[in-house]
Amino acid sequence: MVDVILGLQWGDEGKGKIVDFFAPGYDIIARFQGGPNAGHTLYVDQKKVVLHQIPSGIFHEGKTNLIGNGVVLDPVTFKRECEAVASFGVDYRKNLYISQRAHLILPTHRALDKASESAKGNDKIGSTLKGIGPAYMDKTGRNGLRVGDLLDKNFVTEYIKLRLKHQRLLDGLNFHEDISAWEEEFFEALEFTRQFKILNGEYFINDMIRQGKTVLAEGAQGSMLDVDFGTFPFVTSSNTISAGVCTGLGIAPQQIKEVIGVSKAYCTRVGSGPFPTELNDKTGEQLREIGCEFGATTGRPRRCGWIDLVALKFACMVNGVTQIVMTKADVLDSFEELQVCASYHIDGQSTEQIPYQMNRIDIRPVLKSFEGWKKDISSQKDFRNLPVEMKYYIDFINKYLGVQVTYISNGPDREQLIKVH
């Protein structure tokens, strides 16, 4: 049996904490897509740690953690992550596995990412410059190197061939920076990565399922950044929706049971692209300040706005979401008035559907106002004790989406999660 946890907005929904909370109930936690452009923030022993590629179940004793074939792996970032995990006294080698089919991010992928973004001028996508896009492009172009290739004696020869191809592209983009230091660090990290259990991930995970083991599939980024269904072209390079679990881990669709969608009580976005409910005013700044809205991977300030139910309902539909975890509800504690986007106004017409090309049209969000609860909920543990105004806010969202909010996060710590009765 496989359950999925994924983001329903533009990423940064707080998935790391939610996976960490649910992980004890599963045997295997598996990342199925994305790369080090994802940052899942956890608090372990009151200390903050950000995981980029390692599954968020790594801090739970006796749990198997799998980096699936759908992930693009940066060995340098991976080595740093492992060192960070080890500082908490965790023996990561004991329960961390890597699929041999996962593609590697090379130093030249990072260079290509930087060169490509620079060449776009004012039309930048807002890439994290981690080499994710170029690595996925090599994957679909059938040029990439995979983790399993590390075990091949001809790896260096194949690397040189691919590097020469990349150099021609870099020359065409007038990129002439010296990346020798990147390469030195890369080859050191490769030796570190070779020490891990590199296996046939799809056979491994399906064997575990047949033995009755339970799997929690962990997504990165958010549904509105999906390469097919997100706000294209301002999207990531992988399928962030639940369908990506099948291709990113090698499991059949009928194995998936629960799809747990994670959404903030408001909206944020990092980088460029459409954001209908964005608030470029004091309210937006207040959301950013109270919510500490700065990218876990890049440190960039996040754009902030009210919750967009049009986009959220679309995400629930394409993912087949069965329940929602609402995060950062406590950020709204001090607001006298809250608003939600219940429809879009486009070309004189109202719609509750996501348009084809959001960045080419003028979208005016149609907002519905709610009275704020003006109470500190961060210490609450029982849904029955939450303010009436908050319950009304949640109830409206439940009815609009046709999916129930089952948990409410009211702070960053593990125990700050309220089950909805």
Residue-wise DSSP of 328-395: -GGGGTT-SEEEEEEEEEETTEEESS--S-GGGS--EEEEEEEE---S--TT---GGGS-HHHHHHHH
Supply the residues annotated as catalytic: 12, 40
- Give per-residue burial for 301-312: e unless 16+ CB within 10 Å, then b: ebbbbbbbbbbb
How do strand 337-346 and strand 349-351 relate by DSSP bridges?
A: antiparallel
For residue range 83-92, list pLDDT tens digits in order. 999 988 888 8
pLDDT band at 136; cut points 50, 70, 90 = very high
Average confidence (pLDDT) over 242-257: 97
Looking at residue 32, the DSSP 8-state letter turns out to be: -
- Average of per-residue pLDDT values in the chain: 93
Own/partner pairs, 381-386, CB within 8 angstroms, 24+ separation = 381/415, 381/418, 382/418, 383/408, 383/418, 383/419, 383/420, 383/421, 384/421, 386/418
pLDDT band at 335; cut points 50, 70, 90 = very high
pLDDT band at 125; cut points 50, 70, 90 = low
What domains, with CATH codes, occur in the chain? 2-100+198-260 (3.40.440.10), 103-193 (1.10.300.10), 263-419 (3.90.170.10)
Rounded to 5 degrees, what are φ and ψ at 218? -105, 120
Angle at 330 between CA 399 and CA 268, to 5 degrees: 75
- The whole model's pTM is what? 0.93
How do strand 64-67 and strand 96-99 relate by DSSP bridges?
A: parallel
For residue range 365-413, list pLDDT tens digits in order. 999 999 999 999 999 999 999 999 999 999 999 999 999 999 999 998 8
% residues pLDDT > 70 (the chain): 97
pLDDT band at 138; cut points 50, 70, 90 = very high
For residue range 255-304, list pLDDT tens digits in order. 999 999 999 999 999 888 999 999 999 999 999 999 999 876 667 899 99
Q: Which residue has the higher pLDDT, 119 or 188?
A: 188
Q: Residue 408: beta bridge partners?
A: 326, 418
pLDDT of residue 34: 93
Rounded to 5 degrees, what are φ and ψ at 161? -60, -45
Average confidence (pLDDT) over 182-197: 95
For residue range 55-68, list pLDDT tens digits in order. 988 988 899 999 99
Asked if 419 and 50 count as a contact pair (C-beta separation under 8 A), the reply is: no
pLDDT of residue 306: 98
Asked if 236 and 230 count as a contact pair (C-beta separation under 8 A), the reply is: yes
For residue 2, pLDDT beyond 70: yes
pLDDT of residue 121: 61
Q: What is the C-alpha separation between 53 and 374, in angstroms, rounded?
A: 38
pLDDT band at 123; cut points 50, 70, 90 = low
Asked if 75 and 192 count as a contact pair (C-beta separation under 8 A), the reply is: yes
Asked if 346 and 330 count as a contact pair (C-beta separation under 8 A), the reply is: no
For residue 71, pLDDT beyond 70: yes
Average confidence (pLDDT) over 1-27: 94
pLDDT of residue 295: 72
pLDDT of residue 126: 62
pLDDT band at 215; cut points 50, 70, 90 = very high
Q: Which residue has the higher pLDDT, 421 or 324?
A: 324
Q: What is the C-alpha separation between 207 and 212, in angstroms, rounded?
A: 9
CA distances from 364 to 131, 303, 308, 342 (A): 34, 17, 12, 11
Written as six digits, the tokens of 109 are 């992928």
pLDDT of residue 193: 96
Per the rule left: phi > 0, alpha: psi between -120 and 50, beta: everything else, 358 is alpha
For residue 41, pLDDT beyond 90: no
Q: What is the helix, strand, coil percentage profile of the chain, to 5? A: 35, 25, 40
Burial of 281 (0-12, 13-18, 19+ CB in 10 A): exposed
SS3 state at 270:
coil
Looking at residue 76, the DSSP 8-state letter turns out to be: H
Handedness of CA 35, 36, 39, 40 (dihedral sign): positive
Q: Which residue has the higher pLDDT, 257 or 46?
A: 257
For residue range 237-246, list pLDDT tens digits in order. 999 999 999 9
3-state secondary structure 380-411: CCCHHHCCHHHHHHHHHHHHHHCCCEEEEECC
Highest mean pLDDT, choosing among 57-61, 118-122, 139-143, 258-262: 258-262
